[in-house]
Amino acid sequence: MPSQNNEIATSVSDRAVCPLCTAPTDRTLAGNISRPDNRICPSCGLVFQPRRDSSIEDLASCYAGDGYWNAETVKLSRFTRISVLDDVRRGRARLHGIEQISGRRISAHDTVLDIGCGYGGLLWQIRNKRKARVNGLEPSPVCTQAARSLLGLDVRQGMFEETECSQDGGYSLITSLHTLEHVADPVAFLRRSGELLAPDGLLYIEVPNLLNPSAGFPLTRFFEEAHLSNFSALTLRAAADLAGLKTVAQDTRGFLRFVLKRAGQALTPVYDAAHAEEVLLFLTSYHHGEQRTTRKLRTFTTRAGYAFRLACYPLLHPIQTMRILCRRT
C-alpha cells in the first residue's frame, strides 16, 4: 500500500468480512474522513461498516421517527409538509430521469413499487402524470403517514426484509432510490427485489457514488453512520451479478443510477484487487482538496441552488403547493 494512502487507511486488530465478496479485511478508513468504522475490502474495493446481528433492528430503530430526514441540507425542509413538497418537486426530475435511462415511458398499464419511498414524491408524480398503479414501502412511520394523508398514496410502513409486498404477475417497475446503501445485506435486497419483478420488469437503483461524492461535501459527511455500504460502479454491478440481475443501463456521472432486470441465474463477478487501490487514491486526492476554495464554492452553490429551487416551486405550482401545505390530516 503506498505511503500516501496511510493517512486515510490504517490496520486494526479485528477483521471484518466484506458483505459483497466475503473477503476479510482489517483496513479501516481513518477518523479524519470517516467517523463510523468503515472498512475497505482489499479484494473488491467496497467500503462498508462491519455488520452486526441486530442490523435490521438497528435500522428499524433509526427510522422509527423522522430523524434521518431532519438532517436535510436546508433547515426549512425539516418541517414535514415542506419536506413533502420538496419530495414532490424532486420526484418530477426523478421520473423523467428514470424514463430516460431505462428507455421506456411509464404508462397506465404499469404497476410500480418504490422501496424506501420517503414521503412518496416520486410515486405521486408517477400516479398523477402517468396514471400507473403505485405502491410504496417506507420504514419511517412519520414519512408513511405523511405520504398517506398529504398525498393520498398507498404506502406500507415497515422494513423491506420483513414486509410482504408481492404483486400478482409481478411489478413492471421497482424503484429504490438511496436505500440500498442503508441495508444490512445489499445482495439479498437486490435478489428479493428481482424476485418481485414481472418477467420483463425493470429494477431502478440509485445510490451515492463513492468515486463522485455528492455536491462536494466533506468525506466525513459522505461517510455517514446510516450508510452501511458505499458503492462504486464496479461494486454495485458485482452486487447485481450476485443477485441474479443483469445491468441494462447505467449512469455514473453523479449518483450511481442502474437499471436492472432478471438474468435467470446468479453470476460470479470477477473482482479486481486493483480497484481498492484506485478507491484509496481517489479518497486521498479528494481529502486533500476539501479545503480548496473551489470545492467550498461548489458546495455553497449546490446548497444555494437547492434552496432556490425549493423556494421557486410554490410559485410555479401554487395549486399543488396549497393542497399539500393546507390539507387536513
Residue 275 lies in a domain: no
Angle at 98 between CA 94 and CA 102, to 5 degrees: 170
**Looking at residue 46, what is its pLDDT?**
97
What average pLDDT does this structure show over 222-249?
A: 94
65 pLDDT band, cuts 50/70/90, is low
Question: Which three cell numbers, joined as nine digits, stand for 198?
Answer: 414481472
pLDDT exceeds cutoff 80 at 171: yes
- Distance from C-alpha of 291 to C-alpha of 322, rounded to nearest angstrom: 42
**Looking at residue 91, what is its pLDDT?**
96
- Distance from C-alpha of 58 to C-alpha of 47, rounded to nearest angstrom: 20
Three-class SS of residue 148?
A: helix
The rounded mean pLDDT for the chain is: 88
Residue 74 lies in a domain: yes
Query: Total structural domains in the chain?
Result: 1
Residue 52 lies in a domain: no
What average pLDDT does this structure show over 147-171?
A: 93
Residue 164 lies in a domain: yes
Radius of gyration of the chain (CA): 20
- Residue 188: give the domain boundaries: 68-269+293-326
- Contact between 247 and 261 under an 8 Å Cβ cutoff? The reply is no
- CATH number (domain holding residue 227): 3.40.50.150
Residue 114 lies in a domain: yes
Question: Which three cell numbers, joined as nine digits, stand for 138?
Answer: 417506507
Q: Please list the alpha-helical segments (H only) found in the chain.
A: 55-62, 80-102, 121-130, 141-151, 186-195, 219-222, 233-242, 274-288, 293-316, 318-326
pLDDT exceeds cutoff 70 at 329: no
- Contact between 215 and 299 under an 8 Å Cβ cutoff? The reply is yes
Residue 139 lies in a domain: yes
Residue 23 lies in a domain: no
Per-residue exposure over 71-83, b if at least 16 CB sit within 10 Å of its own CB, e if not: ebebeebeebbbb
Q: What is the pLDDT of residues 132-145, one digit of tens each?
A: 999 999 998 888 99
- Contact between 84 and 145 under an 8 Å Cβ cutoff? The reply is no
For the entire predicted model, the pTM comes to: 0.91
Residue 150 lies in a domain: yes
68 pLDDT band, cuts 50/70/90, is low
What Å distances lie between residue 77 and 72, 120, 156, CA to CA? 7, 15, 23
What average pLDDT does this structure show over 41-66?
A: 75
Instruction: Indicate left, alpha or beta for 317 from its phi (over 0: left) and psi (-120 to 50: alpha).
Output: beta
